Structure formats: structure tokens, C-alpha cells
Amino acid sequence: MQRPVSIAIAQRPGKEQSSSEAEPRGPGQLRKSRMGFSFFASRAAARFLQDIRRPSSAGVSTAALLLTAASGGGIVAYADSARAEEAPEPPPRKKKVVVLGTGWAGTSFLKNLDSSRYEVKVISPRNYFAFTPLLPSVTCGTVEARSVVEPIRRMFEKKGKDVAYYEAECFKIDPTKKAVHCRSAVGTNLDGNGDFMLDYDYLVVALGATVNTFNTPGVMEHCHFLKEVEDAQKIRKSVIDCFERASIPNISEEEKRKILHFVIIGGGPTGVEFAAELHDFLVEDLVKLYPAIAQFVKITIIQSGEHILNTFDQRIAVFAESKFQRDGIELSTGFRVIKVSDDSITVKCKSSGVETLVPYGMAIWSAGIGTRPVITDFMNQVGQGKRRALATNEWLRVPECDSVYAIGDCSSISQRKIMEDISTIFKVADKDNSGTLTLKEINDVLEDICIRYPQVELYMKSMHMVDIADLIKGGVGDSNKESMVVNIEEFKKALCHVDSQVKTVPATAQVVSISIEYIG
């Protein structure tokens, strides 16, 4: 806080005189004197304020101004400010977090991110989030397309997130320069090409996957897919078109059977869900609207494996197969599609090698997911060129790039096996260096083990074990739980089968949402 300004009237030394002795001044002299004083006063005030704002190195700002009037007198103005308060340091620069994608993985991550701590930017050609589990329902009109999408900007607004979104597509990731190259389809820069670049401190790759056709001829030209909302709307229109075509007069029964034959290639979650929705749509709605051709409707699922839903629990697969058989949905398992034309699908039996033509009216390809070109290019840069998905550690970090994380369908988690670290685990647990572990010592590190190696808990559940003592008994045989003591070899024997529970989890929305919690 500054001290009050003191102003003193001073005269030229040796020229003291009283007011009665002062020479009289005329109006002109007074006006000139006042003009001169005003000029100098304004200049002095500006200099004074400038000095006040600019404290000296000692922290004290002192300004002394001497104004000499035309009469020979002067004004000395001075001000001493108290020690100026030190200016607060600017806040530290926020780390830049760039998120690629607005699917399940990207939006789940953004919902859990404290955007006040980071400068967050999102890149995606799709400015909305789609609830993909309901896409099969959109194909049949059970749910409208507008009901399964949420604008991404509105999501940020509802959550109070300070996030910048750019509707563009990332076509290159440069981990060396920590930058992503993007291309906008809705706007152009000064060069007219719509390309721009963003640098990052942390990059979260959540680009998802594309359709994997396995280079099968004719798939891209003649099959429908079910990855986006637009795909579901196209399928819905195609189903109606098939019924309308089959209703045209002078169409033979054989042709009607072909037109109303709906073939689903792939017995995974997408294919099974779509088959169930399509069956309900045909039986409950379309058959009533087209009763004359209801008898010609047929749904077939072609699966290369011996069972559908082979990435799920076997009990789920058995239940789904029995349900489809009751509903009249044909399951062709053990067949591989080798070619698709405009009116038939060529399949090959894996056991006999015999090829068969399957006529169809509409075909939906849901046989798997593939890698996007930008991910393929990035994997080549980080030494993962031979993989089908971007490998991460259990914390979802790309091993070759500490500042890059990958989540969702574009990545796969390389879970470390417990037997690779069994000696280290034993040494950490053996706090008294006795060379043996008691049950209490094992329980003390059990929580950390289960976090680092989740397959331990999965194995115990699959084997219906109540606690860790039941697991250790496999290495030492039947013994009293309280007095149980194991050495390194017995500890290895007890845990040697745990890594058998390390499996690649299915690429479902639920798995993606859960995996977000491990980013740290």
C-alpha cells in the first residue's frame, strides 16, 4: 500500500520574498505560467505513476519530481511506497492431453478426466457418441437412431468439462515430435487443404477398429456392416426393400426364397444380437404386413468356428444356440466364406473342404474387426508392425512411448504373467528373510498381487477357492491353514496354473468402459 503523496512549495535559493513584495503579474503572464505548469505537471504525473508501477530492485518505489515554475519557484513532489508486494507467479502450464476418438473408450476416459488440471483436446470425425449395443435395434426400428446418439459437445457441457473438440480425422501420429497430424472434412486452413497439427504431452488413442474382411472378394461391394448409425439405417431400408421386391407379382417362389433369405456372416456379439432383433422384427411386424410371403422368410448365421459367441462363457453360447434353434434361425457352423457375389455366397466346409453356394437377398458381415491405417502406421513406427492391434501393458500404456496410451478396440493388453516375477514376489513377501512364507506374509501382499496380476483372482474364482489358503494348499498338500509355511518351490507349484486364466478379453463396450479405470 502506497504512502500519501507529499507536495511542498519551494523557491529558488537566495530569492526569498514575501507575497507583498512579489511583482504584480498581468493576465497574459498568469495564463502562460499556468499553461507551463500544466504541461510539466502532466508530464511529471505520468513519470511519477510509471515509477510507482515499476518497483526498484530493493522492492521500494520512490519517486521525486521537481517542477520549476516560470516565476522562479518550484514544486517538489515526492512519494515513498511501502515495499511492493511481490507479483504472484503465473500458474504452471497445463499439460496437453489429446484424445483421438469419441467412441466408448474416448468418452469413458473423458468423463473420468479432471479437465481443470489439463488442456484437453479431442479429435474425431464423428461429433457424437453412439450407444453401439443398440445399433441392432435401430436396424429394425425398435429404437430410433436419434435415441442412441449424444452430441459430444453437449456431453462436455453437461459435465462442465473444459474441452476443445475438433471435427477432423487423425491420419498420422508422430511419437518423436509428440504431435498428431489431422485433416478436417468440414473446413480448410489458409492453404486450402484442411490439414493441421496438434502437439501433446499425453496422447490417448481411442480410434476403435474398422471392419475386417480378411480380403474376401466381394465383401465390400455386396455386404452390409454394422459399425455406425448410418450402417443401421441402411440395413433397415434394405430389409424393407427385400420384402417389397418379394411382393411384386410374377416372382417365382424360388426367387422369393432367395430375396427373403437374410444371411449373417459371423457369430460374434454383433451378429447374434442382430439375428435376434431381425427375427423379432420379422415375426412380430413384417410378417403381419406381408402375410402372403411370410412362409419364405429365413435367417441364417454362418460361423467359421464350431460354436457362436466363442469368446464368451460356454454356457452363454449353448443357451444362444438352443434359443435360435427354437426360433427357426439356422446355424451353419464350421463354414468359411470364400467369396460373395451380388446374389450368392460361396462357403467352404472346414472339415470336408466342399464348397457350397448360398443364395441370399441381404448379407450382413460381422466376422471381425481390423486395424485402421493410422494405427498400422503407428505400430510400424514403434516396432509393432507384425501385430493386429496396438499392444499396451496392463496400465494401457504403449511400452515404446511413455506418454502414449491406447484404449478400446484399437489396442490389446499384454498382461504380464505372474510366473515371470514369482521370485521377486517371494522375496518381497519374505520380510524376515527366512526363506519361507507364512500365510500372514502372503496375505499382506495379496492385494497388491491381485491388482498387478488379475489372473490370480480369476483363477481362484474358476476353481471355486474361498481364499488364498486354498490356492497355496495345492503346493503343500493338505495342512492346517494357520500353520501353513511354504518355500519358494512350493510357492511356484501353487501358482504355476494361474497364468492359464490370461485371456484376450472380447472387444465389447463393457470391457472398454471398465478398462478406463486402469489409466494412471
Q: Is the pLDDT of residue 441 over 70?
A: yes
**pLDDT category of residue 305 using cuts at 50, 70 and 90:** very high
How many CB atoms are located within 10 Å of the residue 348 CB?
Answer: 16
**Measured distance CA(167)–CA(124) in Å, rounded:** 5
Average of per-residue pLDDT across 101-108: 94
- Spatial contact of 515 and 407, defined as CB atoms under 8 Å apart: yes
**Measured distance CA(126)–CA(132) in Å, rounded:** 14
The CATH number that domain 229-367 falls under is 3.50.50.60
Q: Is the pLDDT of residue 14 over 50?
A: no
- Spatial contact of 139 and 239, defined as CB atoms under 8 Å apart: yes
CA 10 to centroid of chain Cα atoms: 75
Q: What are the residue ranges spanned by the domains of the chain? A: 93-211+370-415+504-519, 229-367, 418-501
Query: What is the reported pTM?
Result: 0.73
pLDDT of residue 334: 95
pLDDT of residue 504: 56
The CATH number that domain 418-501 falls under is 1.10.238
For the chain, give the mean pLDDT. Answer: 82
pLDDT of residue 113: 92
pLDDT of residue 402: 81
What are 494-513's pLDDT values in tens digits? Answer: 888 888 766 655 444 445 55
Average of per-residue pLDDT across 1-27: 44
pLDDT of residue 519: 52
**Residue 471 φ then ψ, to 5°:** -70, -45
Q: Map grid coordinates 444380437 to a residue.
A: 273
Q: Is the pLDDT of residue 491 over 80?
A: yes
pLDDT of residue 48: 41
Select the more confidently predicted residue: 453 or 119: 119
Q: Map grid coordinates 493386429 to a residue.
A: 388
What are 443-487's pLDDT values in tens digits? Answer: 899 888 988 888 888 888 888 888 888 888 766 665 555 567 889
How many CB atoms are located within 10 Å of the residue 225 CB?
Answer: 19
**Measured distance CA(431)–CA(311) in Å, rounded:** 41
- Spatial contact of 462 and 314, defined as CB atoms under 8 Å apart: no
Average of per-residue pLDDT across 78-90: 59
Q: Name every residue whose Cβ is closer than 8 Å to that of residue 376 and which is 6 or more positions away in sequence.
A: 385
**Residue 377 φ then ψ, to 5°:** -65, -40
Q: Is the pLDDT of residue 337 over 70?
A: yes
**Measured distance CA(184)–CA(423) in Å, rounded:** 52
Select the more confidently predicted residue: 31 or 384: 384
Q: Is the pLDDT of residue 71 over 60?
A: no
Three-class secondary structure of residue 512 per DSSP: helix
pLDDT of residue 472: 84
Provide the grid cell at 479.
495342512
pLDDT of residue 190: 58
Select the more confidently predicted residue: 68 or 176: 176
pLDDT of residue 350: 93
pLDDT of residue 145: 94
Three-class secondary structure of residue 36 per DSSP: helix
Average of per-residue pLDDT across 23-48: 46
Closest CA to 372 of 241, 169, 208, 191: 208
Which fold is adopted by the domain 93-211+370-415+504-519?
A: FAD/NAD(P)-binding domain (3.50.50)
Average of per-residue pLDDT across 55-76: 43
pLDDT of residue 464: 85
Q: Name every residue whose Cβ is closer than 8 Å to that of residue 272 and which is 6 or more positions away in sequence.
A: 301, 308, 309, 320
What are 149-173's pLDDT values in tens digits? Answer: 999 999 998 888 889 999 999 999 9
pLDDT of residue 355: 95
Provide the grid cell at 432.
524376515
pLDDT of residue 481: 53
**Residue 86 φ then ψ, to 5°:** -65, 135
- Spatial contact of 115 and 136, defined as CB atoms under 8 Å apart: no
Q: Is the pLDDT of residue 493 over 80?
A: yes
Percent of the chain with pLDDT over 70: 76
**pLDDT category of residue 85 using cuts at 50, 70 and 90:** low
- Spatial contact of 4 and 83, defined as CB atoms under 8 Å apart: no
Beta bridge pairs of residue 438 = 485
Instruction: Identify the helix (H) or strand (E) that includes residue 339.
Output: strand 335-340
Domains 229-367 and 418-501 equal at CATH topology level: no
**Which range (48-57, 230-239, 369-378) has the least confidence?**
48-57
**DSSP annotation of 317:** H
